[in-house]
Amino acid sequence: MKDTQKPPRTSSVVLEEDGRYPDLMIEFLSGNTAKVDHNLKKSLYEDQFHTPEYFWFSPESLEFTGFKLVGNQYQEIIPNKQGWLWSEVLNLYLRVENAELRYFTFQGELVPTPEEAAKINRPQKVRIEVVGY
């Protein structure tokens, strides 16, 4: 949700967010949940939550689809030439790379995960050896 506090969380509870619903939902599908996510949850997010964008991704089958709310109905987000889906909410592209859902800037640069960013920003240990002269 835009303009909310950003504490670490794995889910959102509407009552704890002053009645605000998420601006974007990403469902990770499994064989057990795919049918519910494709139908019931999609209708819930579309009709009751009015969630502007809804994506689903299956790590098993690599199925990846996105929807944008236009009026009161979801329309499928058309992939660009590379097969990437644009999220207006995130202002990023989403795509499956190496069996993972990843984010990319408009210029096509990979957005690092928090773990990758920590490795990039970690100071390198430098060994300095002083020898006599």
Nearest residue to 104 (alpha-carbon basis) of 133, 123, 125, 83: 83
Q: What pLDDT is attached to residue 15? A: 41
Q: What pLDDT is attached to residue 10? A: 59
Q: What pLDDT is attached to residue 76? A: 97
Q: What pLDDT is attached to residue 57? A: 94
Asked whether residue 106 is assigned to any structural domain, the reply reads: yes
Burial class (CB in 10 A: 0-12, 13-18, 19+), 18: exposed
Domain count, the chain: 1
**What is residue 55's DSSP assignment?**
E
What's the domain range around 111?
Answer: 14-121
Q: What pLDDT is attached to residue 111? A: 94
DSSP 64-84: EEEEEEETTEEEEPPP-TTS-
Asked whether residue 21 is assigned to any structural domain, the reply reads: yes
pLDDT by residue (tens digit) across 56-90? 999 999 999 999 999 999 999 999 999 999 999 99
Q: What pLDDT is attached to residue 23? A: 93
Asked whether residue 7 is assigned to any structural domain, the reply reads: no
Asked whether residue 127 is assigned to any structural domain, the reply reads: no
Which amino acid is it at 74? Y
pLDDT by residue (tens digit) across 2-59? 554 555 555 555 545 566 788 999 999 988 888 888 889 999 999 999 999 999 999 9
SS3 49: helix
Asked whether residue 131 is assigned to any structural domain, the reply reads: no
pLDDT band at 1 (very low <50, low <70, confident <90, very high): very low
pLDDT by residue (tens digit) across 93-127? 999 999 999 999 999 999 998 888 888 876 655 55
